[in-house]
Amino acid sequence: MKLFSQLFSLLVLFLLPTLAFGLETDFVPLTNIPVLFDTGNSINTPEGLSVFLNNIYKVCIGVAAVIAVLQIMRAGIMYMGGDSVTEKKDAKNLIAMSIGGLILVLSPVVVFSIINPEILTLKISGIDALEVKDRPLDVTPTPGGGGVTGDGTGNEEDPAEEDPVTRVANAGQFWGKLVTTDEAAVTAFRADCNTDKILETAKNLVERRHLFEARETLDANNRAVKTLYCESYGQKFFVYQLKKKEGGAEGRVFFVPGEEQKSRAYKQGCQTDGGAYQGPRYGAWSAWGVCNMLFDGGTNVEERVFNALASTGIKKEEYSLRCRAERPRCIKY
């Protein structure tokens, strides 16, 4: 029996690196996660808080069901691998308790869904919305110094803001919201929230657009009210890091020349459209000296960086460079 328990533990340990790899890479889920992406306008409003807590309740039911199934599987392994009568009896008891727990968790949902589904929906009212301040730009700490700033050429000042004319022209490209009972408006919004509809002036900032539809609600006249969001995923904005080839320490992380301006413009566009800036999501670092292999077919990042640093005395022959991509998002909460 101990052998089977050890094998089960090893299986879990082997799966953990896979999960960690999924978190480190630029993972895009096939569907939205309810607790994270179905909270209305964040949890800073009564409506958003209600949706958030309702989704937490659903997720807890799902987690309990998964745990019960895992316990039944574990009991089955105990039963098959047990040599004594006591071990088989313990396995049967575990199966019975797991099934009982599963019934205990699911029975309120089933019963209340039959009696009145509204019982399962928490509604909060009478509280004021919380004031949520803008999130600061993420930085990347490194062993050799500070976070992502400037382009490494000695000019560390903040880049100029995006041209207001360009920002107006790109309005709605980063984020959009529609609340309506009109099916024609819904159809038009769905068609517009499409990667193919990205304007030429925004294509260097926005990679793709993503449609998300929240749960329908009813208005005072019992009509179905649909809420739709058009979120966006930013382009990859490149950063780099230098170190001396002969035993040098890793330096600070800088934007590749021109990339910080685009990153700031994306963030400003997202906030102007009313979305919530999230990011960036970090890609994996390239190996030292093979930056161009990471972005095969794209911009020659290495050449671009060393040309910009030529006036500073940093030479390609003396320094090694690595780089990675960072992709922000403009979402609804």
Note whether 207 and 196 are within 8 A (CB).
Answer: no
Residue matched to tokens 């994270």: 36
Using CA atoms, how far residue 275 sits from 172, 209, 278, in Å, is: 10, 13, 9
d(CA 223, CA 227): 13
Which amino acid type is present at position 211? L
Write out the chain's pLDDT in tens, 333 residues. 454 454 555 444 444 444 444 444 444 444 445 554 444 444 444 455 566 677 777 888 888 888 988 989 988 888 888 778 888 888 889 889 988 888 888 888 788 778 776 666 666 555 444 443 433 333 333 333 334 556 665 554 454 455 666 666 778 899 999 999 999 999 999 999 999 989 888 888 999 998 988 888 888 888 899 999 999 999 988 889 898 888 778 888 888 888 888 899 999 999 999 999 987 888 888 888 887 755 545 557 888 888 888 888 888 888 888 888 888 999 887
pLDDT in the model for residue 137 = 33
Q: How many CB atoms lie within 10 A of CB 253?
A: 24
* Six-digit token string for 214: 């929240």
pLDDT at 112: 74
Dist CA 153 CA 305 (whole Å): 9
What pLDDT, on the 0 to 100 scale, is given for residue 149? 54
Q: What tokens were used for 300?
A: 């020659």
Amino acid at 278: Q
User: What backbone torsions phi and psi does residue 286 show, to the nearest 5 degrees?
Assistant: -75, 170
CA distance 90 to 117: 38
pLDDT at 169: 73
Q: Give residue limits of the domains in the chain.
A: 2-120, 164-331
> Strand pairing of 206-213 and 224-234?
antiparallel
